[in-house]
Amino acid sequence: MMTMKRCTYPPRRSIVVLSLLALLSGGCHHLCNAFSSVPRPLVAVAATSTTTASSSCSCSSCSSSSSTGSSTSSIGHRWNAAHQPILSNSIQRRLRPLFTSLQSSTNSNNEEEEEISSILRPSYPIEPLPLRIGHGFDIHRMVPLSEAGQPIIIGGVVITHENQKWLDVDGKYTTPNSIYETQLGVLAHSDGDVIYHSLVDAIFGALTLPDIGQVFQDTDPRWKGCDSSKFMEYAYKVMQYYNYQIGNIDVTLILERPKVATFKPQMKENIVKLLHTTEGRVNIKARTHERLDSVGELRGVSCHVVVTLEAKKTE
């Protein structure tokens, strides 16, 4: 069970009040029915104050539990036909919305946990540090568009461009180590968005979680050609699960060509929207690789991202 999950349960004061109402109205069976669907940490608040009352209950469930020596027979006890309501109708009407709210909160928490992959819920606690820092890096090959089968997509934006002077090292399209003018695409299992992939990795890293390649494996057919905004949406859910929000994001995109200056505002807008943050917390820089190595030869695109995560203030 995760210890860092943001608590959405109602105040303990409500639990104590309900406990007293139930006891005054007729004993443990009302308390048991009321809290049968309440998360254990809250039920336990009322448990110690109801030991005497529960021991006097004559229902079959409580009796059978008592015979086995259980001291918490009332906890988790379900309502059955043998127990007729003693609470007045007016009190029942007043309590019903709260019971419904408690059940809804429990269901929401369970669904949220099911959405988060077990690999992102480690056995160790994710400590509630006020500030966390993560770094992400990604690199993908750039090849002729006909070979890649998909365009260059960076920060959720399709980078349109004129034919580029790509170095054909292997001589696949011309003589080896000659320039081949072509439209470029990114060779990748998903859509190859280096900014999004680096950002997801940075968020996971800040939370001391496994890297993006372990969560979205490049051998999994589900992610073939996948829009990487889906990975970003998932990373945001993981942040929420651990009660964090974006502090700030600093992106350094590295590619020789094509130029991306005119695309940066849209990239920024996409990041702000997907991670539910503000423009003043997101920065995107782009630079060339001074014609050095594969990136400088237009055979690759890479990206570094640094991200800080802030712990959300609990109400």
Q: Is 131-311 CATH 3.30.1330.50?
A: yes
> 104-149 pLDDT, tens per residue?
544 555 555 556 777 788 888 889 999 999 999 999 999 999 999 9
Instruction: Give the pLDDT score at 115.
Output: 62
Q: 59 pLDDT exceeds 90? A: no
Domain boundaries of the chain, sorted by first residue: 12-115, 131-311
- 48 — pLDDT class (breaks 50, 70, 90): very low
In the prediction, which pLDDT does 215 show? Answer: 83
What is residue 253's three-state secondary structure? strand
Return the half-sphere exposure (C-beta side, CA atoms, 13 A cut-off) of residue 88.
Answer: 5
In degrees and rounded to multiples of 5, residue 282 shows phi and psi of -125, 130
Asked whether the CA dihedral 41, 46, 52, 58 is positive or negative, the reply is negative
21 CB-contact burial (10 Å; exposed 0-12 / middle 13-18 / buried 19+): middle
pLDDT digits (tens, 9 = 90+) for 181-221: 999 999 989 889 999 999 999 999 999 998 888 888 878 88
pLDDT digits 0-9 by tens, 259-305? 999 999 999 999 999 999 999 999 999 999 988 888 988 899 999 99
